[in-house]
Amino acid sequence: MEITLTQPAGLVVSPAFSHVAVVPAGATTIYVGGQNGVDETGAVVSHDAGEQALRAVENARTALASQGASLDDVISWTIYIHQDADLRAAYGAVAATLARDGAPPLVSAALVAGLAVPGAVIEVSAIAAVIRE
């Protein structure tokens, strides 16, 4: 039994994302709600998009770890980035953290006019799948 991430023929091939995830019956699926670049008190950690992106991913890592999963178990990321944020700084800050062996996860991203947390410029959510034997 394994979790499969694929880039089917006829679709763009990217080192940054896959197009399809197949999670077999019996795997544990973990959903992580939107995480911003905030500390444990809810305060935005910085006005810098890169620092916020790093903290948002670290917050997702903490949420995953609470359920026995890791960033390597993420099969899908959803990313909301404020339209005025520095995309290169945000992506550049987390690219090495999200890199992994094998097929990359699915990624959906959108530029948005605003986020619910005042001062936040990025929000990430994740879906992970783990085969527990």
Taking the chain (133 residues) in runs of 10, the rounded mean pLDDT of each run is: 96 95 97 98 97 98 98 97 94 91 94 97 98 88
Q: What is the pLDDT of residue 9?
A: 97
pLDDT of amino acid 114: 97
Per-residue pLDDT at 133: 79
CA distance 92 to 84: 16
Tokens coding 102: 């094998």
**Nearest Cα to Cα of residue 32 among 131, 129, 125:** 125
**List of residues 6+ apart from 50 with CB closer than 8 A:** 86, 89, 90, 92, 93
Of 97, 56, 104, 55, the residue nearest 79 (C-alpha): 56
Q: How far is CA 27 from the centre of its chain?
A: 20
What phi and psi values does residue 111 have, to the nearest 5 degrees? -85, 135
